[in-house]
Structure 1
Amino acid sequence: MQISVASPESRESARQDLPFTLKDVKDAIPEYCFQPSVFRSLAYFFLDLGIIAGLYAIAVYIDSWFFYPIFWFAQGTMFWALFVVGHDCGHGSFSRSKLLNNIIGHLSHTPILVPFHGWRISHRTHHSNTGNIDTDESWYPVTESKYDEMSTLEKFVRFYAPLIAYPVYLFKRSPSRDGGSHFAPSSPLFKASEKNDIITSTAAILTMVAFLGWFTFQFGAIAFFKFYFVPYAIFVMWLDLVTYLHHTEDDIPWYRGDNWYYLKGALSTIDRDYGIFNDIHHNIGTHVVHHIFHTIPHYHLKDATEAVKPLLGDYYRISHEPIWKSFFKSQKACHYVEDTGVEVYYKPEK
């Protein structure tokens, strides 16, 4: 089943019950916020690559198990920053050139084993259906009846080990969304017209896997573990942590049926403060305005947010509490939603 990804404008034709429209929000944002700069976007891309290369050079030079934990965390964080650059490419906010977006998107995502087009398409579905229990793609809640049917292993992975979920999601998607692999052109995630894009990205991933295999054969499993596997695992944890916290909060509503429309759903997310990491991972925690207008480049998200805050008022959500505290609070409080109701909220473990 192919999930609908109707445009924000058509979604706006649904029943309105917010005191402002999508046009009102757009008019409040300075026009320059919607304009990507190729030079600036490329500068962030090359800066991330430079830091990654520098960290590898330092790790090889020092070659100490006392230093490796520092290297692992720093490099895994930079892998996550590189993902965010590819994230802009997937949204078309890196540049106005589709070709350049696709090239940089693959160069950003392939080294960290993310199929660019496969991710781009499913992420588009997520943005077009945010906050809709039935059609959202990422971190949507399970219903109470589904929760009661889940095995102990399913509950453990979903609620107690969510920071390792992403690789599984790429291969299997979610069982409640008809499954589907991000690597297979025949997946229900994709249209027939997107087949060549999926083949391209999957071929790129297979090339990267082959390179990692050659590297392991040439330098040994310990080298693979030190220089790639652990930083990759930390990148996955960053990705799962940030995306989980974007959409998992016990007092933010989820919607069903005609009670949902694009702008209302886009506001069902929350900005988070990652402290010193905000600039490192390109302000991905500034997420509310990104969900309303995903074509705003990451370096304009703060300005756009400040511009719309007076209009959004209490509909704008931000948390300044420590990230670890937010994670454990949501992990404890957000397990399922009721089977019925057009506006529902997470409930804690039974």
Structure 2
Amino acid sequence: MSTVTYTERESATKEVLDTYGNVFTAPEYTMKDILDAIPKRCFERSLTHSMLFVLRDFFYVAVLVTLALQIPNIPSVYLRGIAWAAYTVAQGIVGTGIWVLAHECGHGAFSPYKIANDIMGWFMHSLVLVPYHSWRISHSKHHKATGNLARDMVFVPKSKERYMLSRNIQEATEEMPIVTLYWLFIQQAFGFPTYLIANVTGQKYSVSKLKLNHYIPSAPMFDEKDFWDIIISDVGIAISLTLSWLAIQNFGLFNYSMFYFIPYLWVNHWLVCITYLQHTDASLPHYDDNEWTFAKGAAATIDRDFGFIGRHFFHEIIETHVAHHYSSRMPFYHAEEATKAIRKVMGKHYKQDKTNMLVSLYRSARACQFVEGDGIKMYRNFNGIGPTSTEEVKKTR
């Protein structure tokens, strides 16, 4: 059986194939088609409605802390360990929801009032050590150029050449599942802090790594007009770090770690997991600058499902992300209705996967290592995932 590469197959047929060999076609509808389909009420923002979610989430925080204060009274050391583990996971989930509400503020979806959005966003993001305005600015640029290989701001995939340079050739061509799990651990444990500090997975700039962070106004992600916003963001982080130091001095490192720091690590895990899976899937394209449009880029995302946790605690950020990319000022509590409306316009271009989130995380890491193509680029890998011969390609059609 003669084998052909994806590139040879695509060049011969003029077709674009996704990672599994399915034919991909770019959307042809316009932004007007999408926005006209969304009911006008979906764009209505309410400060009162949003604040009720804030109060609800902080009530959950208080309840969990109250319960955790009783853990030292548990006589069995093993049961205490289980109780602390359960608390940190639960508080990390609630903390992720608070992060999502701050994310709403950054988009102006929290309320019609900019000052309310910025105060609440700065407060909630600072609590979880996120520089509010700095992240808001770079995240806004991500939304303006989603899927654009030249201008997107996060989870920008490597070309095959860059991937080969960044990984040992033998490791890249003979990668084992354990290697994938190792890189996933690194991504989940350190992904968000290293993005903030060194712009990891972001665009490449011709400056030193020391200047590629979200804490200095001169970073290339920002403009001169952003100077004071970056400083205000840094003040929020400084206050939170000072409070952390005081908490350690007064309550001890163990209590600080259990009540705050380990839940904070869980928040980072969920943020990276959510955002990675929203933009990384074997079916999703990326575009060269001359091929990209906003409508195409917004469709280069995928909705997933995390059940009750996703819909209740994470404020549906996982389940309605495609609609969020078409209109980021639309509040999350209207996004499900908007999703149903835009699916009628998007048709086959709407992507949804209800596979277990952790299973999806592993599958995407295995299948989506770099992108190849001309104009429209699709994920490829060295793991043998996807058809490699003409006959096998036909079987997927």
**Deviation of residue 151 (structure 1)?**
4.4
Equivalent pair of 1:266/1:288 in contact (CA under 8 Å): yes
Query: How far 1:62 moved relative to its partner?
Result: 2.8
Aligned position for 2:111: 95
Question: Which of residues 59, 64, 68 is equivalent to 1:50?
Answer: 59
Distance, in Å, in 2 between the alignment partners of 1:160 and 1:45 is 31
What is the rounded CA distance, in whole Å, between the counterparts of 2:365 and 2:186 in structure 1? 10
The answer to whether 1:167 aligns with 2:182 is no
Amino acid at match of 2:332: H
Deviation for aligned residue 1:75: 0.2
Give the Å deviation of 1:321: 1.3
Letter in 2 for 1:184: I
- Seq. identity, %: 33
Instruction: Give 1:258's aligned residue.
Output: 290
Gaps of 5+ in 2: 1-25, 73-79, 173-178, 384-397
Confirm or deny that 1:196 pairs with 2:212. no
Contact 1:68 1:226 (8 Å CA) reproduced: yes
| CA distance in structure 2 between the aligned counterparts of 1:161 and 1:299, rounded to whole angstroms | 33
Q: 1:232 aligns to what?
A: 264
Could you tell me how far apart the structure 1 residues matched to 2:282 and 2:150 are? 18
Q: Is residue 28 from structure 1 mapped to residue 54 from structure 2 by the alignment?
A: no
Aligned pairs for 1:104-119 within 5 A: 104-119=120-135
Question: How far apart in 2 are the matches of 1:314 and 1:48?
Answer: 36
Deviations 1:183-207 (A, max 9, x none): 1111111111110011001011011
Shift of 1:159: 5.4
Equivalent residue for 1:348? 381
Unaligned runs of 5+ in 1: 1-16
Displacement of 1:221 in angstroms is 1.1
- Note if contact 1:159-1:335 (Cα within 8 Å) is conserved in structure 2: no
| CA deviation map 1:265-314 (0-9, x unaligned) | 11000000101112211000110010011111010000000111111100
Corresponding residue SS for 1:66: helix
Partner of 1:141: 157
Among 33, 37, 44, which residue is 2:46 paired with?
A: 37
User: In 2, Cα distance between the equivalents of 1:273 and 1:325?
Assistant: 12
TM superposition shift of 1:176: 4.8
Local SS of the residue matching 1:344: strand
State the secondary structure of the residue aligned to 1:189: coil
Residue 241 of structure 1 deviates from its aligned partner by: 0.3
TM-score, normalization: structure 2? 0.81
Whole-Å separation in 2 of the counterparts to 1:344 and 1:202: 37
Q: Which runs of 4+ in 1 moved over 3 A?
A: 151-160
**Which residue does the alignment assign to 1:292?**
326
Partners in 1 of 2:93 and 2:262 — Cα distance?
Answer: 11
Q: Which one-letter code corresponds to 1:330 in the other structure?
A: S
Cα distance in 2, alignment partners of residues 90 and 201 from structure 1: 12
Distance (whole Å) between structure 2 residues aligned to residue 141 and residue 52 of structure 1: 36
2-side partners of 1:232 and 1:189: how far apart? 25
Amino acid at match of 2:56: L
Show the counterpart of 1:83: 99
Residue 209 of structure 1: aligned partner: 241
Alpha-carbon distance between aligned partners in 1 of 2:64 and 2:273, rounded to the nearest angstrom:
23
Distance 2:230 2:304 in 1: 32
Compute the TM-score of the two structures, normalised by the length of structure 1. 0.91
Distance 1:120 1:78 in 2: 21
Matched residues, number: 333
Paired residue secondary structure (1:88): helix
CA shift digits 1:22-44 (9 cap, x unpaired) = 11111111101001111110000
Aligned to 1:11: none
Q: Pick which of 137-146 and 148-157 moved more.
A: 148-157
1:177 and 2:204 aligned: yes
- Asked whether 1:283 is paired with 2:308, we answer no
For the Cα contact (< 8 Å) 2:153–2:203, is it kept in 1? no
Structure 2 contact 151–203 (Cα < 8 Å) conserved: no
The more displaced of 183-192 and 80-89 is 183-192
Larger radius of gyration: 2
Q: Report the AA paired with residue 364 of structure 2.
A: S
Alpha-carbon distance between aligned partners in 1 of 2:203 and 2:33, rounded to the nearest angstrom:
36
Aligned-pair CA distance for 1:92: 0.2
Query: Which residue matches 1:273?
Result: 305
What is the CA–CA distance in structure 2 between the aligned matches of 1:20 and 1:169, rounded to whole Å?
A: 33
Displacement of 1:322 in angstroms is 1.2
Q: Is the 8 A contact 2:154 2:203 kept in 1?
A: no
Aligned twin of 1:4: none
For structure 1, which segment, 226-235 or 176-185, has the greater mean C-alpha deviation from structure 2 after superposition?
176-185
Residue 122 of structure 1: CA displacement?
0.6
Cα distance in 2, alignment partners of residues 18 and 349 from structure 1: 28
Question: 2-side partners of 1:336 and 1:264: how far apart?
Answer: 20
